Amino acid sequence: MSPGILGKKIGMTQVFRPDGQVVPVTLVKAGPCVVVQRKTSAADGYDAVQLGFMEYVKAARINKPETGHLKKAGAEGVRHLKELRLGSGSSDLKAGDRVLASDFKPTEKIDVIGISKGRGFASVIKRHNFRGGPGGHGSMFHRAPGSIGGSSFPSRVFPGTRMGGHMGTDQVTVRNLEIVQIDAEENVIAIKGAVPGPNGSYVLLRRSKKGQGR
């Protein structure tokens, strides 16, 4: 059993449960994936499986070393790769095996890992949730960060001081999300709630350990 699967975010919608409850879900095109490499403690020092998302691209877009690496597993053309750590002897997967959306079940809990949307340069109010100053009555302190350090002491700005700057494009993990529905024919998984990243971005769906009570 694979510890996870790679996918591409489609977008958000809503579904109805049998009792009529409306549930907001994110649709993810999960797989099909292929096992490109199986790492073992004896050969590599740790147990892991490397998955490739089967979304074929032109051969010219893949360099020669990676082309040879993919050819060993019969996965030519696969470009997006991710590695998942395994417990010792916890999986019987081998190179060339397929991982499909049907390997998961509704109500199962998963962790979704993706790259958050880029917001460009953001001020401290948007980036760090600062309150800001008064909005009127002659105030000249609206969206400024305020004091960032003393003049006489310490006469410098401490590293890590919260300021405006680049926001987004960070790896974000959302834990214990519920799988609501699975379309095995189209390899689409409906996940309750929102997942990080814009539509069309790659995400990693990993089986949640905490959510399964293990």
pLDDT level of residue 213 (50, 70, 90 thresholds) = very low
pLDDT of residue 212: 55
pLDDT at 4: 87
Q: DSSP class of residue 126?
A: H
Average pLDDT, the chain: 87
In a domain, 143, yes or no: no
In-domain check, residue 188: yes
According to the model, what pLDDT value does residue 89 have? 54
Confidence band of 160 (pLDDT split at 50, 70, 90): very high
**126 within some domain:** no
Q: Are strands 81-85 and 48-53 parallel, antiparallel or unpaired?
A: antiparallel
User: Is residue 128 a part of any domain in this protein?
Assistant: no
What amino acid is encoded at 127 in this protein? R
CATH code for position 188: 2.40.30.10
What letters, b where the CB count within 10 A reaches 16 and e where it falls short, cover 108-137?
ebbbbbbbeeeeeeebbeebeebeeeeeee
Whether residue 111 lies inside any domain: the answer is yes
In tens, the pLDDT along 11-66 reads 999 999 888 899 999 999 987 888 888 888 888 888 888 888 887 777 777 778 87
**Cβ contacts of 69 within 8 Å, gap of 6 or more:** 36, 37
Look up residue 97 and give its two tokens: 């095996």
8 A C-beta contact, residue 78 and residue 66: no
What's the total number of domains in the chain? 1
* Percent of the chain that is helix, strand, coil (3-state, to 5): 10, 35, 50
Residue 140 lies in a domain: no
The answer to whether position 72 is within a domain reads: yes
What is the mean pLDDT of the segment spanning 145-159? 91
Q: What band does 90 get if pLDDT is binned at 50, 70 and 90?
A: low
Among 84-93, 140-149, 202-211, the minimum mean pLDDT is found in: 84-93
Question: Could you give the percent of the chain with pLDDT greater than 90?
Answer: 43
Q: State the pTM of this model.
A: 0.80
Which domain covers residue 48, as residue numbers? 4-119+166-207
In a domain, 78, yes or no: yes
Contacts of 64 (CB under 8 A, 6+ apart): none
